[in-house]
Every structure is written in C-alpha cells, then in structure tokens.
Amino acid sequence: MAIANRYGLLAALLSALTLALTIPAASADMGLSPLRQVLSEDHPAAEFTVSNPSDRIMDARVSWTDLAATETGYDPATPSLRAELSAAPWLVVSPANFRLKPGARQKVRVEIRKGAKLPKGERRSHLLIETEASRSALRKASTGLQVDVSLGLSAPVILRNSGKAGAKITDVHLLRDDDGLLMLETSIEPKGDWSSFGRLIVTYTPEGGEKELLGLRDNVAGYTDVALRKVTIPFGYVSLGAGELLVRYEGAAEFAGMTFDERAFDIAPPESD
C-alpha cells in the first residue's frame, strides 16, 4: 500500500511539472512585442517591449538564439546553418539583465554594432528573453504542489543589406477539418534574397454575387532558409457554391502595399444527389 501511494504521489508531481513546463509563455506572466524587428543601414536600431502582467517580481536575462525555419515553425539551427544564418555577430542588445515589478514594462534595444560592415542578403537571430525560475503553486485534487517554473519568449531580429523580397503561393488545397468544415492549406515559397512578410487573404465571389472574405492569416513569413512555409486558414463553411476563390499574399510592415502573389480558382457547383 505504501509503495502504491509513493508511485501515485510521484505521478501527480510529474503531471504537475509537465503542465508547468507546457504553459504558453505569452499567457504565463510575460509579454514581448512587437513580433519582429528589421534592421539595416537605414534603420540601425529598434526596440522591443517586455511586459510583466503577473503579480510577482520578474528577473530576466536577454540573449540571442539561432533558430532554423521549418515548414510550420522553428528548430534549433545546426552549427553549419548558424554560420550562414546568424545576425547576432553584427548586433548588440541592452540591457542584458533587468528586473520588472508587477505590471511594469521594460524597453530592450537592439542595434547594429558601430563600424560593422554588414553582410549581403539577409541574416536572422532571435532575441531571447528568459526569466529566472520562480516558485509557483499548482493545485491538483486539492493538494498544493510547489514547482520551479522558468519562462521564455523570443522574436526574430532580421538584418538586411543589398537584396529584395519575393514569394509565390504554391500547393493550394481545399480540405476539411475534424468537424467537416472547409479550410485552405497552402504554402509560401520564398523567391528573393530577403524573407517575405505579410498576410494571406482568401476571398470568394459566388456566381452573380459579391465578393466576400472567407478567411485570413496575419504574420506570414516566407523565410529563405526553408523551401516552403505551410499555412492553414479555416473557413467555417460546410460547402461553397459555384464561383471563384482568390488567394492573395499581401505584404505588411516594411512591405505594406505590395502584393507578392495571388492565385484564382474556379469552384464547381456542388453535385446534386
């Protein structure tokens, strides 16, 4: 009986630790904005804002990490890719450490090193904000458990020199989710020296009707270190009648007003039973 209780307590503790380590950082005591920053000779410095919406004092440290883009997210960069990808050697950041009281905000400045000769094309590193482990209480079945939780957030800092951005929409498919509702799956293929950034907009024009918005996805980047970036956009419709579907990749931020690519598709009328 004692052995069973011991294993039960261990299972509960491991469950609590797993929960603590999988809480999204954005919803667990820390915020970081904006989502990205771009530096160049014409724009050599930028700022991020770190916020502390929690009720505890937060001690944080600032560093760089290099992440390789994948079709759906990021992976740690290999040493060989880091040598080609990393922007950190050309950048400085301040402060390196700071303390935030509950409800407070802190500016973190990134800038190009004075006198640095920028490489051609594009480089990218992620600004990493990590907090020291803090004692947090988690409850499970009315039993109080104390665990140490560290939080971290990151955002890409992109360094550019001599180049341009381009992208194409590829591999467009209409699929259904688990509830049978329509969704669009597509990929962004980078076609330039720089990564693209913008939003995907899907509109539908029924035969004899007016155009309507089916769905959109903001903050879509086509990074040059991955062949394709997959994007899924839910529609919330069971079916569509005859008409035209238009998928457009519009630029945002430094690419505002630019259209990278668009593709139109005819929707056949639904088959009658």
For 42-62, write each residue's pLDDT tens digit: 999 999 999 999 888 999 999
Amino acid identity for residue 243 in this structure: G
Give the mean pLDDT of the chain.
Answer: 86
CB 106 within 8 A of CB 50: yes
- Residue found by looking up tokens 């609590």 in the block: 16
Percentage above 90 pLDDT, the chain: 75
And the tokens for 6? 């011991």
Query: Within the chain, what is the greatest distance between any pair of CA atoms?
Result: 75
Name the one residue in this structure whose structure tokens are 């992976």. Answer: 75
How much is the pLDDT for 220?
Answer: 97
Q: Closest Cα partner for 19 from 99, 161, 136, 114? A: 136
Please, what are the domains in the chain?
25-161 (2.60.40.10), 167-267 (2.60.40.10)
- Residue with structure tokens 């503790």? 13
Beta partners for 61?
Answer: 97, 130
Of the candidates 237, 240, 235, 241, the one whose C-alpha atom is nearest the C-alpha of residue 201 is 235
Question: Looking at the predicted structure, is the pLDDT value of residue 3 above 60?
Answer: no
Provide the pLDDT confidence category of residue 168 given band limits of 50, 70 and 90.
very high
Residue 1 confidence class, pLDDT cut points 50, 70, 90: very low
Res 219 pLDDT > 70:
yes
Residue 190 has pLDDT above 50, yes or no: yes
pLDDT in tens, 65-115: 999 999 999 999 999 999 999 999 999 999 999 999 999 999 999 999 999
Say whether pLDDT at 144 is over 70. Answer: no
Q: Which pair of tokens denotes residue 212? A: 């309507």
Mean pLDDT of all residues in 3-31: 43
pTM exceeds 0.85, yes or no: no
Q: Is the model's pLDDT at 139 over the cut of 50?
A: no
Q: What is the pLDDT of residue 135?
A: 53
Q: Which pLDDT belongs to residue 136?
A: 52
CB 38 within 8 A of CB 87: no
Q: Cβ atoms within 10 A of the Cβ of 31, count? A: 15
